[in-house]
Structure 1
Amino acid sequence: MSKSNIAIGFLIGISTTIGGVFLFTIFFSDYSFEVSLRDSIHNDYFGKLIAIGAILNFLPFFVFMRKKQIYHARGILLACLVVAIAIAVVKIRNF
Structure 2
Amino acid sequence: MKKDIFIGMFVGLVANAIGLFLTATFLGKGDDFTTVIKAAAAEGFLGKLISLGAVLNLIAFFIFIKKRKDYRARGVLLITVFIAVFTFVFKLFQ
**TM-score by structure 2 length?**
0.95
Letter in 1 for 2:52: I
Paired residue for 1:40?
Answer: 40
Question: Per-residue CA shift, 1:10-55, capped at 9, x if unaligned?
Answer: 0100110111010111122121100000011111101100010001
Paired with 1:4 and 1:89, the residues of 2 have a C-alpha distance of 29
Aligned to 2:69: 69
Distance 1:28 1:81 in 2: 24
- In the alignment, structure 1 segments of 5+ residues that lack a partner are none
- Corresponding residue SS for 1:68: coil
1:1-95 superposed matches below 5 A = 2-30=1-29, 31-94=31-94
- Specify the code of the residue in structure 2 equivalent to 1:13: G
Distance in 1 of aligned mates of 2:49 and 2:27 = 11
Q: Which runs of no fewer than 5 residues in structure 2 stay unpaired?
A: none
RMSD, matched Cα? 0.7
For normalisation by structure 1, the TM-score amounts to 0.94
What is the CA–CA distance in structure 2 between the aligned matches of 1:89 and 1:18, rounded to whole Å?
19
The alignment of Structure 1 onto Structure 2 pairs a total of residues equal to 93
